[in-house]
A and B are shown apart, each in its own frame.
Chain A
Amino acid sequence: MTPTYDDLPALMTRMTGDEKHDASATSTLDVIWVLYHHVLRTDPARPEDPDRDRFLVSKGHGPMAYYAVLAAHGFIGIDLLDTFGEFDSPLGYHPDRTLVPGVEISSGSLGHGLPIATGTATALKLQRRAARVVVLVGDAELDEGSNIEAIQYAGRAGLGNLTVVVIDNESAGLGWPGGIHSRFDIEGWTSTDVDGRDHDALRAAFESGTPDTPHVVVAHV
């Protein structure tokens, strides 16, 4: 049975206990849904397939939307959602890749996912695999300088198989004068600013970019 977007709130409720979810809890929901439903080439039956697309959730915080989409697409059992955060549950407040099928990195400490992704994207190129790497970061997470090291390297190495999606809910304490995309543009990335709730626009943004440069999608929510 094919999951629909409308199934997600009920799945999240199994974790939060709340009937309604505020904007911060669902800030990543549309992006992750569009990726799994329309963009990524992944197979829950083969989560270790070396040719799979990689989706790295770098920020790790508030993973309910992530777990809900994974459950909707068959990576984890729906009943597991009821155990969210419990001592022996595989579903923690920050994901652990060794416990959850389909989770590519263990995250929670900010600023690790994008630097790791540059290595994975490079490995896939060296192995001549067509798979792409998509990394989700938060606008506040970009405060971490480790991201900047990765943005600089990826641009100069021309990692065309790397896409970053920044969930921009304007939570960065000191803001980003001149826009987030400008930090990427100057390092040779292509960029798209998009409404982070608009599924068609998100899908188009993930399908844009060029083969020789990394691409950033700034999703405003």
Chain B
Amino acid sequence: MIDQRERFYRVAPELLEQDGRLALVLAEIGVGYLEPHIGERIRARVVNVGIREQLLVSFASGLALAGMRPIVHTFAPFLIERPFEQVKLDFGHQGVGGILVSSGGSYSMAAGGETHFGHRDVALLDTLDEWAVHVPGHADEAEHALREAVRGDDRVYIRLDGKSNRHRYADGPGFTVLRSGNLGTVITVGPTADAVLAAAEGRDVTVLYAERIRPFDAHTLRETLTTPDVVIVEPYLSGTSIPYVTDALSDVRHRVIGLGVGHHELRKYGTPKEHENAHGLDVRGISSSFDAFFGDASDLRY
């Protein structure tokens, strides 16, 4: 089964074939993988600017200013963090759209260490105006997000992860109800869903699945709310979406916690699985967080 990134490398050239407005802008990363899929008709619209990430983003903005729709791709820290001012000004302040597609997730390149970790991306984009953020949990979702994004003119970030769920869970742009319960709500974002569903087994809680986390689907959270105890599990910086949960429930006395990648540098290498365990994002870690949070709530005063 091909992963999210490989699916992107297959689908993006196909979309370029269909739509002359599209261009793919790269900074070496992905060039070798894409090469077999690049036909002569689209070769001129696949631009590799070399290892120049400031140029990567500004160049894409220049394409957009001339009416094209750029798809910009590299690893998350080099796409969002290094050229952050370019993302801020050359898309947001210029008032143009584009599609940023990162790969590597938070720690898909676990042995690469801190320089290649991408867990701060969504929190950084939250400081900017009007970025839609997709966190696919499956290659089919990644493909769908890309196909939808190329049709628009807005600013879209698609965050490809090395980890995928066993199934495609998203059934629309908003949150998808995976289970219903009475004692609280868990929002599981993208590739965290399989572990969350396993940890929620036997608990009387609602589980909402988010492939698109921005704009935040406050409506579904409110519509399905039972006991106002909410856990949000994100595959990037822990707590990133807590303000959005709190805003959505501003008129309800509620409790909320955020699970995700810790703020402290671990200075560890190894495998993505080992990092998942270290951040408490494995079934055992999530389950023990659920125990603590949903445990005996009878002594809590609302």
Contact = CB atoms under 8 A, between A and B. Distances in A.
A108 to B, nearest CB: 9
Contacts of B289: none
Given A98-B95, A112-B86, A146 B63 contact: no
A130 to B, nearest CB: 13
Contact of B58 (A106, A119, A123): A119
A123 B63 contact: yes
Contacts, number: 92
A175 B67 CA distance: 38
Contacts of B50: 152-153
A121 B58 CA distance: 12
A211 interface: no
B257 interface: no
Interface stretch (B41-49, B117-125, B148-156, B293-301): B41-49
B184 to A, nearest CB: 44
A97 B90 CA distance: 11
Main SS class of interface, B: helix
Interface in A128-177: 145-146, 149-150, 152-153
The interface centre, meaning the residue of A98, A109, A112, A150 with most chain B CB atoms within 10 A of its CB, is: A112
A96 B95 CA distance: 10
B89 interface: yes
Nearest to A121: B62
B179 interface: no
Contacts of B12: none
Contacts of B70: 119
Nearest to B83: A146
Contacts of A120: 62-63, 65-66
Of listed A104, A124, A146, residue having the most chain B CB within 10 A? A146
A145 B54 CA distance: 9
A116 interface: yes
By size class, the interface of chain A is 20 to 34
Given A106-B94, A112-B58, A116-B90, A124 B66 contact: yes
Given A97-B95, A116-B61, A123 B55 contact: no
A150 B90 CA distance: 14
Interface in A170-205: none
Interface size class on chain B is 20 to 34
B263 interface: no
A2 interface: no
A153 B66 contact: no
Contacts of B94: 97-98, 105-106, 116
Interface in A100-122: 104-106, 109, 111-112, 115-122
A92 B183 CA distance: 54
Contact of B55 (A97, A126, A146): A146
Contacts of B60: 119
A106 B93 contact: yes
Contacts of B93: 96, 106
B52 interface: yes
Q: Main secondary structure on chain A at its contact with chain B?
A: helix
B68 A106 contact: no
Given A112-B89, A145-B54, A149-B54, A127 B95 contact: no
A146 to B, nearest CB: 4
A17 interface: no
B85 interface: yes
B58 A153 contact: no
A150 B45 CA distance: 18
A50 interface: yes
Contacts of A118: 55, 58-59, 62
B52 A116 contact: no
B23 interface: yes
B89 A115 contact: no
A105 B93 CA distance: 9
Contact of A153 (B23, B52, B86): B52
B73 to A, nearest CB: 15
Contacts of B89: 106, 109, 112
A-B pairs, top 5 by smallest CB distance, nearest first, are: A119-B62, A115-B58, A123-B66, A119-B59, A120-B62
Interface of B: 23, 44-45, 47, 49-50, 52, 54-55, 58-68, 70, 85-86, 89-90, 93-95
28 contacts: A105-B65, A106-B93, A106-B95, A109-B89, A115-B54, A115-B55, A115-B58, A116-B58, A116-B94, A118-B55, A118-B62, A119-B58, A119-B61, A119-B62, A119-B64, A119-B66, A120-B65, A121-B62, A122-B59, A122-B62, A123-B67, A126-B45, A127-B66, A146-B55, A149-B49, A149-B55, A152-B52, A153-B50
Given A116-B59, A116-B90, A122-B47, 11 more contacts: A50-B66, A50-B67, A98-B94, A112-B86, A115-B55, A115-B58, A115-B59, A116-B58, A146-B55, A146-B58, A146-B86
